[in-house]
Amino acid sequence: MASAVLLFFVLMVMSVRDGKSEKSLFNLKCESAVGVISQNTNIPCSIESQKKPVSINTVVLKRLGQKKPCFVYQPHENTITGDTRFKVLGGSSLQLQNTAISDEGEYEYHIRTSLGEDLIKFTISVTAKYNNPVITSVPEKIEKNGRAELHCTASGGYPAGTIHWFDQSNTNWTKSASLDITRGDDGLHTLSSTLRFQSFDTLWAPFKCIVLNNKYQEEGRSSFILERKDVSETTVGNNTMTNTIAGVVVIGSLVAGLLVALLCRQRRVQQLRRASALPF
């Protein structure tokens, strides 16, 4: 009895597999693609079949959820309709030129060939690298133990990433920062992170700001060159003062020395004159 049940299941599974292989004599396979903004994106596809060669009659590309195809290609008539940024490369692979953020999404790829037809889904995702981050501070010149804000901004990226902060000893300050993400008309993101200090210890500097993409990969970093109010004004001022004083002291002692030497010489000359003027 048990063996009869097993046989039944085996036959059922086989018939399902047979049914599938009868329906399509080939398989269309596509890899999902990650494109870079304003560059060409390749969508590698292949036709797997026992019989060769397979000739393509029609390619229809639709965005998921839309009725109208975004691209139709008929190689025999050599006609293309829809978005001309799409191209069929050798075989069944596709290329999308001048990729835009709006191209992101799921697609349905319908192919009709001499061996029948098949339908497959693939996704296109788009990325754009962030520009190198720029760090500024408020105030521009930071006072020791004074209030301070550091701002790190990176623009032109996609999708949304994040910013991490580290100080001179590589201590992670990210938790104390607040991140603001804005999206421009072009769909690209600007990341702005702010680190606020009630009392800034100049020993923490330089601060590093690191830009990470949505996969937490580093895309750029910057170091903050600290401009200290106390150093740049007071200390430098003092230095000039000491230099001036030192100069005055050196020149003054030289002049004094010369005067003394002159006086001594005059005295000796006078003494000699007096000696020679004495009557014999």
Ligand X SMILES: *[C@@H]1O[C@H](CO)[C@@H](O)[C@H](O)[C@H]1NC(C)=O
In the complex, the residues that contact ligand X under the rule CB under 6 A are 164, 172, 174-175
Q: Which is nearer to ligand X, 88 or 191 (CB)?
A: 191
State how far Cα 263 lies from the chain centre: 76
Q: Which is nearer to ligand X, 80 or 181 (CB)?
A: 181
Closest separation in Å from C-beta 210 to ligand X: 9
Closest separation in Å from C-beta 164 to ligand X: 5
Residue 76 contacts residue 132 (beta carbons within 8 Å): no
Closest separation in Å from C-beta 121 to ligand X: 34
Q: Which is nearer to ligand X, 86 or 224 (CB)?
A: 224
Closest separation in Å from C-beta 107 to ligand X: 34
Q: Which is nearer to ligand X, 81 or 172 (CB)?
A: 172
Closest separation in Å from C-beta 221 to ligand X: 12
Q: How far apart are CA 268 and CA 118, in angstroms?
A: 122
Closest separation in Å from C-beta 123 to ligand X: 27
Q: How far apart are CA 161 and CA 219, in angstroms?
A: 9
Cis peptide before 53 (omega within 30 of 0): yes
Q: Which is nearer to ligand X, 41 or 193 (CB)?
A: 193
Of the candidates 91, 89, 73, which has an alpha carbon nearest to the alpha carbon of residue 81?
73
* Residue 75 per-residue DSSP state: T
What region does 79 belong to: left with phi over 0, alpha with psi -120 to 50, or beta? Answer: beta
Q: Which is nearer to ligand X, 216 or 280 (CB)?
A: 216
SS3 for 272?
helix
Q: Give the count of beta carbons closer than 10 Å to the beta carbon of residue 202.
A: 16
Residue 185 contacts residue 155 (beta carbons within 8 Å): no
Residues across the chain: 280
